[in-house]
Amino acid sequence: MSDRGVTEAAGLDLPQFELTEFIGRVLAEDLGSGGDVTSHATIDASARFVATLNCREPIVVAGLELVIAFFRAMDREVRIERTVSDGDAVDAGTVLLRVEGNARAMLAAERSALNTLQHLSGIATLTRRYVEAIAGTGAVLLDTRKTIPGMRLLDKYAARMGGAENHRMRMDDGLLIKDNHVAVAGGVAPAVRAAKAAETGLQVQVEVDRIDQIEPALEAGADRLLLDNMAPEMLRQAVALVARRVPLEASGGVRLDTIRAIAESGVDYVSVGRITQSAPAVDIGLDYELQR
C-alpha cells in the first residue's frame, strides 16, 4: 500500500502526507540504534501493557490516528479502543483511547505518540479559542505558513481540527505579494501588474499597510487584499473603501484579546500565525492500568 493509501486508511484528511515515512522517522529519532534499553532491561519480553490515554486539561483533540499508527508500528497485534475523534472538545479526565499490547513495544512508542498528540492538540485547542472569539462576526480564521519546519501538513491539519481554514500550504499554492516584494518591485501597483502579467492562473493577493495603497492595488488587478497591521478603525476605513470588490484579510500581530475587534471591522478573513507558531503543548498522559 502506498503512503497515501495508508494515510487515507488511517482516517486522516492529509492526501499529501507520507504517514509511514513520518512514523518511521520519529521513532528512529527516539529509539536510536539500540532501542529502548530500559524496557529491555526491566520488562519481560512477553509482558502485556494495558493503559488509557488521558487528557489532564480541557483540550481539542488532534492527532489520534497518528498515535494509533505509532503503537501499531511497534506491535501489529495491539488492540486499540478509541473513545473520541479528532476535532472533539473534551474535558479534563476524558479517556481518549485504550491500548493493550506488548509492554516493551507500547513503552517504546509512548513518547513519540505523546509528543505528537500533545503538540497537535495544543494547536487545535488554541485555534478553537480564536474561532470562538470571533463567532458571529462572519469573519473566518485562517492559519499561516508559520509552522514548525517539517511539520507543516500536520500543523495545518491540527488548525483545521480547531476550526480554522487553511491558507496556502506552500509557496506555489497561492500568489501573495508581501511588503518585500512590493519594495523590490517599486510599489504595490507595479508588483500587482507584474504578477497578473505572469499568467500563473493563481489569484493575486497583495499586502497593503496603508489606505492609500488600496486603490492602486485594485486598479492594477489585485484579486484579494491582505490588510497588514491595521488597527480596527483603519480596517473599517478599508472595508468601506473596498466595498466588497475583493475579499479582505486582516493580519499582523493578532492576539486573542484583539481578534474580536478586528473581525468586527467587517473583514472577510483574519489570519493568525500564533495558532501554529506559538501554541503550547497540552497535558496528555498514558496511564498504566493494573490488572487484577
Catalytic residues: 111, 146, 178, 207, 228
Quick check: helix, strand or coil at residue 270?
strand
- Distance, in Å, from the CA atom of 43 to the CA atom of 104, rounded to the nearest integer, reads 7
Q: Do 175 and 205 contact (CB within 8 A), yes or no? A: yes
Q: Do 204 and 195 contact (CB within 8 A), yes or no? A: yes
Q: Cα–Cα distances in Å, from 216 out to 181, 192, 210, 252?
A: 15, 9, 11, 21
* 284: nearest Cα among 161, 111, 106, 165: 111
Q: Do 151 and 262 contact (CB within 8 A), yes or no? A: no
- Distance, in Å, from the CA atom of 10 to the CA atom of 182, rounded to the nearest integer, reads 43
* 285: nearest Cα among 97, 43, 144: 97
Task: Give the chain's end-to-end CA distance (angstroms, integer).
Answer: 40
H or E element: which one contains 110?
A: helix 103-133
Q: Do 14 and 155 contact (CB within 8 A), yes or no? A: no
E runs forming strands in the chain? 48-55, 59-60, 79-82, 89-90, 95-102, 140-142, 175-177, 204-208, 224-228, 248-251, 269-271, 284-288
